Structure 1
């Protein structure tokens, strides 16, 4: 999935091959762009690297348009937006000893909701937090705490930054080489980044700005955010947690810093095309990404040009004949009228 997202981004941005206005396929000679995807159930990071990938399951070799690409790609299941939010709430409930009324530090201070335990613990991503014995009919009341520091602590508890059997890791013991080059962040990354800038007025182009924006969002009440973003009512309570998660994942997990974070472009679309893994998958299945380089050729073959020229000349001859015929008929008619 991550590799197909990478293919989509670079295909749409014409980093593999470009069709010039002169009707020729050209190699643009540009470096590829890494892909950061944040879906509902998982998050992916994919980028081209010349470094040794110590985990064979996190590497993929591609040959496209005569060029060889060595990719690092990894998909973190249960770290998509929906599953992460569920796991975070389960973690909060567990840390507060499965009380029927808990305080969620990432929810706005004036926000509360109720739900059944069965609705919370219905995913494989939260099994480690599931109480024993378990009664799915128990009603849970969750109240917002609006505390940024506690939110960071609880979100960090969803990650494991300790053990690493490789020379370096991102999190959960997963090997990751040093990030290189530019990246495009899409899916939920784009919406969170846009929301942060809209609510706080902070241009999020650096790690410090990301932290400042997250702090600002987490300090606002539900009512305050509703005034600034009324269309986000159904999910506005989740933006503090999502912002802290994005900060933790990108900076502490993937290892972006002051020099590399500005190289991330948060985009909904690449050009006029929505970004996702599906297009890359379909391109691969339909063989529209050939392994060998495409021969430089004109937009139309010689035979096609000849056919078009023949049809054009024939059409012109018919039009001229029609005009001459009308002209002669008109002249004859005028002569007849004069004779009368």
Structure 2
């Protein structure tokens, strides 16, 4: 009986393994990995549902999340695709977005009619996500201002209809998948979005930035305290992200009613009479202003002192003891959004789609210039004087000195700086702890 030629067999196996290793290495070199989030410079690959020839095993390195933003004027779907790896922070590979009008609150008297719009947006999710992972992809709806203002029963009926549609969908839906978002969660989720996009949540040592948001009805300030001992007298929310621990300071739920539109009404001494007279408006101005379904007559008032000084006095009275000053924020980096951004555009300090930077002193000097200028210069924006004074006083009350500079942005690396991304990521993380 012949003995097998073992050396020859062994040599054949070694050559075969070497060939397979070469092919594997060559194929891997041809695949383009999604870019990392900043500071890793993320990019957007092709359509979210285009998996190409990738194997089922390779697809497992991606995770998807669907977030419905149910606002007062419309409902928007965000489909996020994350690349995940062992012991690594997730990377945002792509976002699919679509919006429809009107908002859910428009169906308050006939909640069944909201079904078609929600179903339409769910189809966006189906077409954007591989069929094989539908059942492990969470779908979430968070409603904001529109439903907060509805009577309780009407809001409940709308949310129940959406919850039923989600349960009937092929996606992962739980009882908490549909809810009304409170101001605190909105502020924290926006903070998560900004720092996720900037790479500040990748490790415990990564620096984070603070977030300032000035909406119509409320204002938020959110940041991670550097010295918790000195911050014991203010509310601290603790949030676990990316398997790390970040302490977040968020006062937005205390600042309900201090958004720009709410502040206008308070400064104009509204609520008692539909006629509002104020030194914050040009002396010869007369017009109308609608807020929360009430139409007010607004008129200017000649003050005995410069208009800026008179208006600032009014604003200071409105903010007296309503805002907590945190001296620590003066030395931290902050991003500012919403009306902070819009008013900077009005002043020509930044361009609408470009963003940029602004100092507290810029708002102060602009307020002085606008308020004390001839009425003709701001008749197209009769509230510009009031808005700028309010913003400049508010920032100083929050603890920001005149020389403090903020970054203004609507997007970071082509991703909207809304709360949707942060809320999606936070929800996915919460599922991991169940």
Classify the TM-score, shorter chain.
Answer: 0.5 to 0.7
Determine the C-alpha separation between the residues in 2 that align with 1:289 and 1:183.
30
Residue 315 of structure 2 contacts residue 389 of structure 2 at CA under 8 Å; is this kept in 1? yes
Q: How many Å apart are 1:103 and its aligned residue?
A: 3.7
Residues 43 and 68 of structure 1: is their aligned pair in 2 closer, same or farther, counting only changes over 3 Å?
Answer: same
> Which deviates further from its counterpart, 4-13 or 59-68?
59-68
Paired position in structure 1 for 2:369:
216
Q: How does 1:230-249 map to 2 (within 5 A)?
A: 233=380, 236-249=381-394
Paired position in structure 2 for 1:60:
237
Q: How many Å apart are 1:61 and its aligned residue?
A: 1.3
Correspondence for 1:82 among 257, 261, 271: 261
Paired position in structure 2 for 1:16:
201
Greater relative CO, 1 or 2 (CA 8 Å, sep 6+): 1
Residues 101 and 77 of structure 1: is their aligned pair in 2 closer, same or farther, counting only changes over 3 Å?
Answer: closer
Residue 107 of structure 1 contacts residue 237 of structure 1 at CA under 8 Å; is this kept in 2? yes
Correspondence for 1:189 among 323, 340, 356: 340
Question: How many aligned positions are there?
Answer: 235
Q: How does 1:113-128 map to 2 (within 5 A)?
A: 113-114=287-288
RMSD: 3.4
Paired position in structure 1 for 2:300:
143
Q: Name stretches of at least 5 consecutive residues in structure 1 with no aligned partner.
A: 18-26, 124-135, 162-170, 227-232, 292-340
Residue 187 of structure 1 contacts residue 276 of structure 1 at CA under 8 Å; is this kept in 2? no
Residue 214 of structure 2 contacts residue 220 of structure 2 at CA under 8 Å; is this kept in 1? yes
Determine the C-alpha separation between the residues in 1 that align with 2:277 and 2:432.
54
Q: Does 1:156 align with 2:303?
A: no
Per residue, is there more strand in 1 or in 2? 2
Paired position in structure 1 for 2:214:
38
Determine the C-alpha separation between the residues in 2 that align with 1:240 and 1:80.
16
- Find the structure with the greater CA-based Rg: 1
3-state SS of 1:178 partner: helix
Paired position in structure 1 for 2:187:
2
Q: Name stretches of at least 5 consecutive residues in structure 2 with no aligned partner.
A: 1-185, 351-355
Paired position in structure 2 for 1:328:
none
Paired position in structure 2 for 1:128:
none
Determine the C-alpha separation between the residues in 2 that align with 1:175 and 1:156.
14
Determine the C-alpha separation between the residues in 2 that align with 1:112 and 1:280.
43
Residues 258 and 211 of structure 1: is their aligned pair in 2 closer, same or farther, counting only changes over 3 Å?
Answer: closer
TM-score by length of 2: 0.47
Q: How many Å apart are 1:46 and its aligned residue?
A: 0.7
Residue 283 of structure 1 contacts residue 289 of structure 1 at CA under 8 Å; is this kept in 2? no
Residue 103 of structure 1 contacts residue 144 of structure 1 at CA under 8 Å; is this kept in 2? yes
Q: How many Å apart are 1:105 and its aligned residue?
A: 1.4
Determine the C-alpha separation between the residues in 2 that align with 1:214 and 1:41.
21
Determine the C-alpha separation between the residues in 1 that align with 2:415 and 2:430.
17
Paired position in structure 2 for 1:256:
400
3-state SS of 1:286 partner: helix
Determine the C-alpha separation between the residues in 1 that align with 2:204 and 2:233.
31
Determine the C-alpha separation between the residues in 1 that align with 2:368 and 2:357.
12
